[in-house]
Structure 1
């Protein structure tokens, strides 16, 4: 299974996928610190491959980005962030995601 994690932040939630036996993890986050996350992640031994991209799922065209990189996902998750957007009334952001 291939997972795409929107607003992955520090990648901490990616640790949860270790037990799920996924084959590939794609982390996408708006933070410019995503490069630091990528470097830290690559220094760890994981049972799955990973990629990290700096992008804003609410405003950037993720479909184009993923197609350009030839990335497909079986599961897309947005842990906690979508919930926060909806509670704060960012309905258009929720619709975009």
Structure 2
């Protein structure tokens, strides 16, 4: 499935379309993450917050914050709106 995410359109994306676009972005970033022994997994989307799990070598890596920042920037560029990428562990801590 290829979705055009160029210029903003008159009709906003549905929640499902938005999740598919997010997954496509993560899939595009995955080879670079896997080359370093890691991966990223989409956990949930709540409004502008996108929750992810960093897996493998990415989990606990000193560069994890930079990795999440890069993922966030790519998603902002692709979606055409501000979003915040948050590690799922922070969400669990806030709910505890």
Which TM-score band applies after superposition, normalised by the shorter structure? under 0.3
Instruction: Give the alignment's TM-score, normalised by structure 1.
Output: 0.27
- Judging by fraction of residues, say which structure has more helix: 2
Normalising by structure 2, what TM-score?
0.27
